């Protein structure tokens, strides 16, 4: 068995008056793709944001390879995670007044990965992979929903992350657009050997995952 990429141990999740999940423990091997399902409000987003270091780990541990991310503070944690993680959200979260290529370049800027000529080249390469090569100079606000989510996928991929976290990435797209976006996302992750955790309500997408977890009664259970 290789060293896990991600190890989550005995995590408790919740907000002051809202306990969400307890005893959350699992590990993810390099290249593994996992899906998480569960009713709305059960804490799926909270879990992804905790793994991503957006929310602090208050109980339990999150290890990224050998690094305990709960021991990293402030800027160190952000840079560490910006270099290793790619995030794709349901609401796209791309910046409407920046061009497509500048949106994608945000990840390298925050992660201090690429700059100058190399940055332009990496951005072009990843835009090509998501089928947006000829849109690079357009403003993000000029794009359709499906195209915006492709920009978000390119931004998540450009740093060649070890782990991609995708939170209902097709939740704001119509069925057909959602299907192609989901396939693009998983294909890219698999081709690059990145691990991925995606949250979805679409049963049809579960076949794309190696393992499926479900949030039930405050526990994360492998199906």
Ligand X SMILES: Nc1ncnc2c1ncn2[C@@H]1O[C@H](COP(=O)(O)OP(=O)(O)O)[C@@H](O)[C@H]1O
State the residues that interact with ligand X by CB under 6 A.
15, 18, 20, 38, 40-46
Nearer to ligand X, 140 or 215 (CB): 215
Round to whole Å and give the CA distance between 114 and 121.
Answer: 9
Round to whole Å and give the CA distance between 172 and 181.
Answer: 11
Shortest distance in whole angstroms from residue 172 CB to Mg ion: 12
Under 8 Å CB-to-CB from 7, ≥6 apart: which residues? 27, 28, 61, 62, 63
Shortest distance in whole angstroms from residue 17 CB to ligand X: 8
Nearer to ligand X, 140 or 166 (CB): 166
H or E element that contains 133: none
Our finding on whether 200 is near Mg ion (CB under 5 A) is no
Which single residue brings its beta carbon nearest to Mg ion? 45
145 contacts 169 by C-beta, under 8 angstroms: no
Nearer to ligand X, 101 or 167 (CB): 167
Site for Mg ion in 31-50 (CB under 5 A): 44-45
Neighbours of 147 (CB within 10 A): 21
Shortest distance in whole angstroms from residue 42 CB to ligand X: 4
Shortest distance in whole angstroms from residue 168 CB to Mg ion: 6
Nearer to ligand X, 16 or 222 (CB): 16
Round to whole Å and give the CA distance between 55 and 15.
Answer: 11
Shortest distance in whole angstroms from residue 201 CB to ligand X: 10
Nearer to Mg ion, 46 or 103 (CB): 46
10 contacts 188 by C-beta, under 8 angstroms: no
Round to whole Å and give the CA distance between 71 and 190.
Answer: 30
Residues in contact with Mg ion by the rule CB under 5 A:
44-45
């Amino acid at each position: 068995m290789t060293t896990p990429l991600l190890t989550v141990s005995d995590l408790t999740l919740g907000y002051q008056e809202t306990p969400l999940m307890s005893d959350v423990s699992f590990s993810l091997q390099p290249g593994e793709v996992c899906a998480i399902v569960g009713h709305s409000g059960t804490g799926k987003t909270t879990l992804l944001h905790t793994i991503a270091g957006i929310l602090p780990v208050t109980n339990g541990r999150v290890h990224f390879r050998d690094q305990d991310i709960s021991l990293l503070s402030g800027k160190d944690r952000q840079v560490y995670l910006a270099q290793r993680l790619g995030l794709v959200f349901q609401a796209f979260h791309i910046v409407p007044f920046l061009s497509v290529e500048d949106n994608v370049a945000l990840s390298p800027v925050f992660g201090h990965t690429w700059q100058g000529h190399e940055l332009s080249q990496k951005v072009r390469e990843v835009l090509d992979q998501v089928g947006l090569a000829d849109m690079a100079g357009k403003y993000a606000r000029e794009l359709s929903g499906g195209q915006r989510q492709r920009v978000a996928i390119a931004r998540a991929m450009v740093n060649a992350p070890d782990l991609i976290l995708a939170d209902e990435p097709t939740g704001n797209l119509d069925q057909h657009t959602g299907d192609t976006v989901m396939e693009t996302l998983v294909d890219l992750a698999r081709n690059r050997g990145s691990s991925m955790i995606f949250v979805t309500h679409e049963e049809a997408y579960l076949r794309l995952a190696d393992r499926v977890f479900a949030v039930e009664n405050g526990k994360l259970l492998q199906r």
